[in-house]
Amino acid sequence: MTKKLPLAENYLNRELGLLEFNRRVLAQAEDPNHPLLERLKYLCIVSSNLDEFFEIRVAGLKEQINLDSPSSGPDGMNPRHVFKLVSERSRELVARQYQLLNESILPMLEEQGIRFLRRSDWNDAQREWIKAFFFRELMPVLTPIGLDPSHPFPRVLNKSLNFAVELEGRDAFGRNSGAAIVQAPRILPRVIPLPRELCESEHDFVFLSSILHAHVDELFVGMNVLQCSQFRVTRNSDLFVDEEEVKNLRIALQGELPQRHFGNAVRLEVAENCSDAMVGFLLQQFNLTLDDLYRVNGPVNLARLMTIPDKVDRADLKFSQFIPGMPAILQKKGVSIFQMIRRGDILLHHPFESFQPVIRFIQEAASDPKVIAIKQTVYRTGTDSVIMEALISAAKQGKEVTVVVELLARFDEEANINWAGRLEEAGAHVVYGVVGHKTHAKMSMVVRKEGDNLKRYVHLGTGNYHPRTARLYTDFGLFTCKEEVCSDVNDVFMQLTGLGRAGKLKHLWQSPFTLHSQILLSIQQEAKNAQAGLPSGITAKMNALLEPEIIQALYDASQAGVKIYLIVRGVCALRPGIPGLSENIKVRSIIGRFLEHSRIFYFRGAQNVYLSSADWMDRNFFRRIEVCFPVLDAKLKRRVIQEGLKPYLKDTVQAWEMDMEGHYHRKRARSNLYCAQSELLSSKKAV
C-alpha cells in the first residue's frame, strides 16, 4: 500500500520548530512573574538546548550540505536554505539572550545583592584575594601554548572554555609567534564566589574568565599581551558505532566516546572584543566560515551560570519548595507495595505525586525473600541512582536480575556503561537491547513466589527511572498485576533478551511492530465515527509531532470533522487551522516550571486512553523499542483525562497556541488566570 503523506507545504521544518521552542523557553526568562533566579535558570536552559541543537541538528545539516543532499526532509526545504534560516534565527535568539542577561537579569540580581563583578569593580582587598586565588588555584593547572612550528594549534575540546591571546615581543628563546592559546581545565569552576568578608553585597561572584584576563600576563613573562579573548567551539557530537560490525557494543562505545570531544566543528563562539584578525585565524583552524561565528557580549557559556541558584540561599528568588503528594493507598504502614498493587492498579502523576513508590517497588523487590526475579529497562537514570543500587543489591542476594541498558542514550552513554559494568560484577544479566533500535521503553517487572504460584507485578511509565528528573518532569507511571498486561511486558522483555519472532500482544502497542499502525488505525476510527455521526475526538499530549503518515492521518480526520487537540511541548511539523485541511486541529505548547514530558493519547469515540514512552516521531515508531499501554481501570482513565489533558487545554498562563505558519502566540488572559501546573500542585496537597 502506498503511504499517504502530506504535501511538503503542509509540513513544517524540524530545525526551525526547535528554535521556536527555544524562543518559548527564553520567554520564561523574560517573564517578570517568575522568580529572578528561576529566570536566570531559563536563560541557561536555552544555552544548553542550543548546544545540543548545534551538536546534533546543525551538525546533521552541515553533513547534508557537504553531501549536496537535495532535501532535508518531508518539508522539502533545501539544506542550504534551512541552514541560512537557522543561522539567522539562532543569532536573533542569542542576541536577545545576552541583551536580557546584561540589561535586565544581572542588574536586577545586583539590586538583590547578587553581583558578578567586572575587573573594574574590584576593590583593593578583592583584587589581592583574586590574585592569590590565581596563583594558588589556576596557575598550577594552566598550560599556555605558544603557536609556532613546534607548537601547532592544540586540539580544543567540545564546548570547553579557551582563550586566544595576542602577543608581541620575543621570549627567552627569541621566538615571536604573536599568538597563544590557553585552555581552561574543565575541573575549574566558571564562577567563583568571593569570601563573605570581602563581599560588598550579600553575594559577590567573579567569573573565571575575568580572573584569567586580569593575570594572563603572568603566563607570558616578558611579553606584551595585546589582547585576550574567550572562545568556545561546538562540535558534532553524534556518535557513530557500526552496530552490525561490532561484537561487543559496550567495548566499541567506550572506544568511541572520547572522540565525541573532537568531532567536526560546527559553531565558534567568541567574545565581542575578539579582533577580526584573531577571529579569522580561529575560523581557519576549525575549518569554519563567518556563517558559523557567534560574537557574544558576555561569558561564552551561559549554561555554567546554572550553578548560581544553588550557591545563593534566597528562597524568595526561587520557586517555592513543594512536597510531592502520596496516594492514600500507599500511605498505609506495614503493608507491602505488592499487597497494595493486588488491590487494584495504582497511578502516579509526577512530580505532583512522589516518585518514592517506584523506588520502593524496586527496593522491596530486592529485599523480599519471595521475589525471585526482577527485570528492568534503563535509559537515563543518572550517575547516582538508588534504583540501580537496589538492582545491584538484588543480584548480590542471588535473585535473577536482568537489566536492559541502553548504551546509546545520547549524552548518558558513559553513566550507562559504568552501571552496566557494576551490574555485571554483581551477577546481573545485562543486555544492550536490539541492534539498530534504542530501548526507550520504561518497564520494570517483578516475579514473586506466592504460595504455589508465581505472581508478576509491573511498573510502566512515560518517563525515565531517574529520581532527580522525576521532580522536574511531568510523567505518569502505572503499577499493575493484571495478568494479561504482565504477560505482554514479559513478552517484550523476552524479545529484548532472547531471539524469536514478535508475538501478538494483548494490550500493549509496541514499536517498531504495532505502535505506528495502531495509532493510525485509532485516528482513522475516530474519522469513521465522525462521518457516521457518532461521538469522536482526539486529544494527544507529547513532546514532538513529526511523523508524516500520522500528520496526514490527522489532516484526514480533521476533514472528516474530528475535533483534535494536540498538546505538543516541543517541535510540531503539523500546520493547524488551515481551511479545508486542518481547521479542526488546535496545537498548543505548555512551557512552565516543570518540563512537560508525559505522552497521553485519548481517543474519545473509542473511549481509549493510552500512556506511552513514545513521541509521534519516525525514530520512536521505527528505530526504537517503545511501549504504549492502556489505562484499563475506568477511575484511573478519568484521572488521566482530568489531570493530564483537561488542565492543559484550560491553561491561560503557560500556554502558547500555534498558528498555521508555525509561530506561537502566548495565550495570556487578563482575568480568570488558570495555570495547569500550579493547580495540579495544589490539588495534590503539595506544599
d(Cα 265, Cα 191) in Å, to the nearest integer? 26
Pair 496, 546 in one domain: no
Q: Calculate mean pLDDT across residues 150-179.
A: 80
Pair 284, 395 in one domain: no
Whether 113 is covered by a domain: the verdict is yes
Give the length of the chain.
Answer: 687
Q: Which amino acid is at 408?
A: L
Give residue 432's pLDDT. Answer: 83
Determine contact, residues 401/429, Cβ cutoff 8 Å.
yes
Whether 173 is covered by a domain: the verdict is yes
Q: Which residues pair with 192 in a beta bridge?
A: 206
Count of domains observed in the chain: 3
3-state secondary structure of 545: strand
User: 265-271 and 293-296: which strand pairing?
Assistant: parallel
Pair 524, 612 in one domain: yes
Q: Cis peptide leading into 647, omega within 30 of 0?
A: no
Residue where one domain finishes, among candidates 448, 482, 502: 502
DSSP string, 109-146: HHHTTEEE--GGG--HHHHHHHHHHIIIIIGGG---EE
Q: Calculate mean pLDDT across residues 262-290.
A: 93
d(Cα 505, Cα 514) in Å, to the nearest integer? 9
The pTM of this model reads: 0.93
Q: Is the pLDDT of residue 226 over 50?
A: yes
CB contact set of 454 (below 8 Å; sequence gap of 6+): 372, 447, 448
Q: Given strand 203-207, what is the order of strands in its sheet? A: 114-116, 203-207, 191-193
Pair 479, 624 in one domain: no
**Percent of the chain whose pLDDT exceeds 70:** 93
Pair 363, 297 in one domain: no
> Residue 122, class by beta-carbon neighbours within 10 Å (0-12 exposed, 13-18 middle, 19+ buried)?
buried
Whether 132 is covered by a domain: the verdict is yes
3-state secondary structure of 596: strand
> Residue 371, class by beta-carbon neighbours within 10 Å (0-12 exposed, 13-18 middle, 19+ buried)?
buried
> Which one is catalytic: 440, 459, 507, 597?
440
Query: Which of 62-71, 87-96, 244-253 ranks highest by mean pLDDT?
Result: 87-96
Q: Is the model more confident about 72 or about 388?
A: 388
User: 585-590 and 564-568: which strand pairing?
Assistant: parallel
- pLDDT tens digits for 613-657? 999 999 999 999 999 999 999 999 999 999 999 999 999 999 999
Pair 523, 609 in one domain: yes
Pair 576, 609 in one domain: yes
Give residue 411's pLDDT. Answer: 56
- pLDDT tens digits for 460-478? 999 999 999 999 999 999 9
Pair 294, 436 in one domain: no
Residue 587 belongs to a domain with what CATH number? 3.30.870.10
Whether 2 is covered by a domain: the verdict is no
Give residue 1's pLDDT. Answer: 56
d(Cα 568, Cα 673) in Å, to the nearest integer? 21
Pair 115, 137 in one domain: yes
Whether 281 is covered by a domain: the verdict is yes
Residue where one domain finishes, among candidates 478, 502, 526: 502
Whether 322 is covered by a domain: the verdict is no
Q: Is-catalytic flag, 440? A: yes
Residue where one domain finishes, among candidates 502, 524, 555: 502
3-state secondary structure of 237: coil
Residue 183 belongs to a domain with what CATH number? 3.30.1840.10
Pair 109, 131 in one domain: yes
Pair 376, 464 in one domain: yes
Pair 549, 492 in one domain: no
Q: Is the pLDDT of residue 561 over 70?
A: yes
Determine contact, residues 231/271, Cβ cutoff 8 Å.
yes
Domain that holds residue 366: 328-502
Whether 354 is covered by a domain: the verdict is yes
Q: Calculate mean pLDDT across residues 416-421.
A: 79
Whether 176 is covered by a domain: the verdict is yes
